[in-house]
Amino acid sequence: MAQALEIARWDLECEFNNTDHRTELNGVEQLIVRRGQPFTINLHLRSGEYQPGGSALNLTVETGPQPSDQYGTRASFGLTDQIDTSRWSAAVTSPPGYMVSLSICSPPDAPIGRWRLTLGQGGLVEFVLLYNPWCTGDVVYMDSEEKLTEYVLAQDGIIFRGSWKYLIPTPWNFGQFEDGILEACLRILEMNPKCLRNPGKDASGRKNPIYVSRVLSAMVNCNDDKGVLLGRWTDDYDGGVSPLSWKGSVEILRNWDTNACQPVRFGQCWVFAAVACSVSRALGIPCRVVTNYNSAHDTNSNLVIERYVDENGQLVQKSRDMIWNYHCWVENWMTRPDLKPGFDGWQAMDPTPQEKSEGVYCCGPIPLKAIKEGELTYKYDAPFVFAEVNADVHTFMKHKDGTTKKIISSVQVGLKISTKSVGSDRREDITHLYKYPEGSDEEREAFTKANHQNKLLQQQENAGLLIAIKVSAEMRKGCDFDVFAVVTNNTPNGKKCRLVFGSRAVSYNGILGENCGFKDLLNVALAPGEEKRVPLRMNYSKYAENLTEDNLIRLAALLLDYGTREAYLAVRNVVLENPEIKVRILGEPKENRKLAAEITLQNPLPVPLQNCCFTVEGSNLTGGQIITEKLNSTVEPGQDAKVKIYFTPTHSGQRKLVVDFDSNKLCHVKGYRNVIIGK
């Protein structure tokens, strides 16, 4: 009969195991491993020595408060000759002796989270188990090392903001391996309402990234639960900070975790998406942030956005339907065994609280392929995401007497869907993953499936009058510049028209602010074939105080044909360019060696800047902390705001030093510098 091993002590070999499982950036103080891949524990025996066939060891693993063999949250197993990667198993890999090297493996569908391992009669070991996108048996498996480096291991990235005509790459510090972040991510799972209601079932559900993604979609916002972020889409940020002040996820997740899971104030779409990306990557799910320009928010599921303008062409709020200048969500990578074949790969998941799904503010995951093919019955929330990229836009003029009339306006949604490229900061256009080319047979087939009748029946309306908005090559914040309404008469007859050309500040989600400039021309005469360019001067003195933090101005040109009574509307959002932040690294970047950076911003405004402040952070650069440097002096127009900061990189490789500049007149200007750290 085999003799039970008596264990005196054990060594978890955290540095070796964590490095082998690509989790060493979390630290080597605790054992963090990935499912479906063996890890090693060294056992030091109290007496006797290990003999193959003559020694026995019973092991038990458990997760969650109600472990169960039936639900895969508990397993008991003994020693075998070799590891079986399809189930919990253990094998000795060392020769006979007083020290036993034990290889243990979990199945590739084991629930992720905190696990307890009991070694024989006495030893209790705790470890964290994560998804394993390097393991072919895991449903999150991804077969490209370059993509895994980008979508799981990269701790910083680029999120695209601005407008579809002027895309702004914004740096973000995901920081999923920074100190305490994995603990916060596991706590998100533990605080979710499904876990609080039925912890045993929830622990079992964590084997499935579809389930976990849906939990994260709900828990990154706090609308139904003790979630991470509170959203706010007004200019009132009392009790918190502007969403634009965040440079990364680390401070947000730490604040939530250390303040009894009270929501962090405040977030908007790119912040919700970025935090969801950090958590997904921390748990081992390949993830990326995507941006959809001219994103439709269809509240009544009819695939139509109805917009109303007054007689000056300015939007009046009559419907909850909106078109956001851009909207960010995330895509998680996984197979979908719950759907028919062909729908594996990227799945859209949106943590920004917009509409309820199954009674909770969450959205997805839904395969991109389902959106592209118009398969709106597939789980989860296909109609809402389909509308974001495909909805039709109908514009009506509301007259003073209350009557409304449809006007001719060409507004498209779902433009330039963007994400950061693999291995570089360039933009990758992924619109083709969501939509077929406009006008193609495949697009018509997808719309037919989705019952998108408005798009199918839409005829190109062209009454011969055209109106468009053109802008200057450079529109910098602080400068005066011209924008133009371009009117063309393609009819054989002369036309007499009224042109109303206005501008208003606007937030990125379409909420209008104050007037920035206006022109009303009652008698615009157009000969057959004639084109006229009508300028509108945008003066800093007029727009400065009205701009929101998004630096957006909405231009609207309304053309009224006196002869036919038809109205034509052109709308364009313009982004005012912030000044560049220049970052100069002083010295040779080396691991664990103090380094300096000189950071400079030139004041582009015609007024002085006061209360100037630079804040800086970077994964594995600033020790998980935010460095703050304030300027005591006023920065006059044309002068430089300049500071020097010091930091000590902790790991080699390329890292982003992310910078934010803030002042009384110039708020939340972003910049970054890629720093390559040597050994």
Confirm or deny that 390 is annotated as ligand binding.
Answer: yes
d(CA 291, CA 543): 27
Residues ≥6 apart with Cβ < 8 Å to 377? none
Could you confirm whether 350 is annotated as catalytic?
yes
Listed in sequence order, the DSSP H helices in 131-208 are: 145-148, 181-191, 193-197, 199-205
d(CA 251, CA 257): 10
What single letter denotes the amino acid at residue 582?
K
DSSP, collapsed to helix, strand or coil, labels residue 383 as helix
Could you confirm whether 327 is annotated as catalytic?
yes
If phi > 0 it is left, if psi is from -120 to 50 it is alpha, else beta; for residue 191 that is: alpha
Closest CA to 134 of 278, 284, 13, 276: 284
CB 339 within 8 A of CB 367: yes
CB 428 within 8 A of CB 420: yes
Confirm or deny that 550 is annotated as ligand binding.
Answer: no
Residue 440 is given by DSSP the state: -
d(CA 492, CA 637): 53
Closest CA to 297 of 323, 272, 274, 277: 323
Confirm or deny that 251 is annotated as ligand binding.
Answer: no
DSSP, collapsed to helix, strand or coil, labels residue 82 as coil
Return the structure tokens found at 609. Answer: 């800047």
Confirm or deny that 312 is annotated as ligand binding.
Answer: no
* Count, residues in the chain: 679
d(CA 309, CA 107): 59
Residue with tokens 């000056």: 312
Could you confirm whether 269 is annotated as catalytic?
yes
d(CA 354, CA 361): 7
* Catalytic entry in 257, 350, 561, 662: 350
* Catalytic entry in 185, 261, 269, 612: 269
CA dihedral 92, 94, 96, 97 (to 10 degrees): -110
Closest CA to 558 of 479, 625, 638, 501: 501
Residues ≥6 apart with Cβ < 8 Å to 258? none
β-sheet bridge partners, residue 469: 485
Closest CA to 131 of 3, 12, 36: 36
β-sheet bridge partners, residue 676: 654
DSSP, collapsed to helix, strand or coil, labels residue 11 as strand
* Catalytic entry in 327, 363, 612, 668: 327
Closest CA to 213 of 284, 157, 137: 284
E strand intervals along 194-303:
229-231, 264-267, 287-297
Return the structure tokens found at 619. Answer: 């994964």
CB 504 within 8 A of CB 553: yes
Residue ranges for the known binding site are 390, 392, 438, 443
Which residue numbers are catalytic?
269, 327, 350
Residue numbers belonging to the annotated binding site for Ca(2+): 390, 392, 438, 443
